[in-house]
Amino acid sequence: DAGVIQSPRHEVTEMGQEVTLRCKPISGHDYLFWYRQTMMRGLELLIYFNNNVPIDDSGMPEDRFSAKMPNASFSTLKIQPSEPRDSAVYFCASSLEFGAGGTGELFFGEGSRLTVL
């Protein structure tokens, strides 16, 4: 398996622009997580899905952020409009059902580094 695939790896945009980050989880995994990492705040959980359904989005900073999972093999994290303080590395991770023969281990993608000027 190719692992969790994220795109783009790097994005530089100007304040006010819309940003869309994409994630393809590992096939068969039923949990998908979006994280944001900054030096100041560390690794923050933004939202996670189970079977394509958002379970907890309490970590989403504000209404400018939205995440969707239209099917089991694709998710997006959208920021509109973007602001300089959104600059961070955004990670997507997926895992198999905890306890159903799986360890619940999270597999992370390589991240999308976002810079908002």
Sites of contact with another protein (CB under 8 A):
31, 33, 35, 42-45, 48, 50, 55-56, 91, 93, 98-99, 103-111
CB of 13 to another protein, least distance (A): 21
Q: In what order do the strands lie in the sheet with 74-79?
A: 5-7, 19-24, 74-79, 65-71
82 or 91: whose CB is closer to another protein? 91
- Give me the least distance between CB of 88 and another protein, in Å please: 13
Structure tokens at 40: 């100041």
**Integer distance in angstroms from the first to the last C-alpha of the chain?**
36
Judged by beta carbon, residue 33 or residue 65, the one nearer another protein is 33
Least separation in angstroms between residue 56's CB and another protein is: 6
**H helix intervals, 1-117:** none
Q: Rank residues 33 and 79 by Cβ distance to another protein and give the closer one.
A: 33
In the bound state with another protein, the residue whose beta carbon lies nearer, of 48 and 79, is 48
Bridge-based pairing state of the strands 88-95 and 107-108: antiparallel
The least distance separating another protein from the CB of residue 81, rounded to whole angstroms, comes to 27
The token duo for 6 is: 């994220």
Whether the CB-CB separation of 6 and 109 falls below 8 Å is answered with yes
